[in-house]
Amino acid sequence: MDYRGKYKVFDLSKIRTYPLSTRTNRVTLKDIILPADVENLPVKVSGETRSDIEVVSQAIVSARKEGSPVIVFTGAHLIKNGLGPLLIDLVSRRAVTLVAGNAATAIHDFELALIGQTSENVPDALGKGQFGMAYEFAYINAAISLGNKQKLGFGEALGKMICDKNFRSEVFSLLPGENSANDFLHSEVSVLAACYGSNVAFTVHAGIGTDVTDHHPSFDGEAKGGCSGRDFLIFANEVAKFTDGGVFLNVGSAVTGPEVFLKAVSMAANVGDVPRNIITADFDLRDYNAEQMTDETSQGYYFRDQKSIVTRIPMAFAGRGLYIQGDQKQTIPLLYKRILEQL
Residue range 309-333, pLDDT digits in tens? 999 999 999 999 999 999 999 999 9
pLDDT in tens, 20-39: 988 889 999 999 999 999 99
Separation of alpha carbons 77 and 155, rounded Å: 17
The answer to whether position 74 is within a domain reads yes
C-alpha of 71 from chain center: 11
* Residue 128 near residue 203, CB atoms below 8 Å: no
Strands (E), the chain: 25-28, 70-74, 98-101, 117-120, 201-204, 246-251, 278-284, 320-325
Strand partners, 319: none
Nearest Cα to Cα of residue 195 among 203, 206, 205, 183: 203
The answer to whether position 31 is within a domain reads no
Separation of alpha carbons 208 and 225, rounded Å: 8
Residue 199's pLDDT band (cuts 50, 70, 90): very high
Residue type, 125: A
The answer to whether position 37 is within a domain reads no
With a CB cutoff of 8 Å and minimum separation 6, the contacts of 244 are 66, 68, 276, 277
- Average pLDDT of the chain to the nearest whole number: 94
| DSSP states along 257-314 | HHHHHHHHHHHHHHTT----SEEEEEEESS---GGGGG-TTSGGGG-HIIIIIIIIHH
Pairing verdict, β 320-325 and 246-251: unpaired
The answer to whether position 233 is within a domain reads yes
The answer to whether position 3 is within a domain reads no
With a CB cutoff of 8 Å and minimum separation 6, the contacts of 141 are 213, 216, 218, 219, 220, 223, 224
The answer to whether position 1 is within a domain reads no
Residue 279 has pLDDT above 70, yes or no: yes
Please tell me the pTM assigned to this model. 0.95
User: Phi-psi bin for 235: left (phi > 0), alpha (psi -120 to 50), beta?
Assistant: alpha
Give residue 240's domain range. Answer: 12-26+46-342
Residue 104 has pLDDT above 70, yes or no: yes
* C-alpha distances in Å from residue 135, one per residue of 20, 131, 215: 6, 11, 10
How confident is the model at residue 302, as a pLDDT?
Answer: 83
The answer to whether position 62 is within a domain reads yes
Q: For the stretch 179-206, what's the b/e string if a residue is b when 16 or more beta carbons lie within 10 angstroms of its beta carbon?
A: ebbeebebbebbbbbbbbbbebbbbbbb
CATH number of the domain encompassing residue 119: 3.40.910.10
Residue 295 has pLDDT above 90, yes or no: no
Separation of alpha carbons 136 and 147, rounded Å: 17
Other C-beta atoms within 10 Å of 151: how many?
9
Residue 238 has pLDDT above 90, yes or no: yes
How confident is the model at residue 1, as a pLDDT?
Answer: 79
Residue 178's pLDDT band (cuts 50, 70, 90): low
How confident is the model at residue 121, as a pLDDT?
Answer: 87
Residue 114 has pLDDT above 90, yes or no: yes
Total domains in the chain come to: 1
pLDDT in tens, 161-171: 999 999 999 99
How confident is the model at residue 293, as a pLDDT?
Answer: 83
Q: Decide: residue 129, CB within 10 A, 0-12 exposed, 13-18 middle, 19+ buried.
A: exposed
Residue 133 has pLDDT above 70, yes or no: yes
The answer to whether position 33 is within a domain reads no
Pairing verdict, β 278-284 and 70-74: unpaired
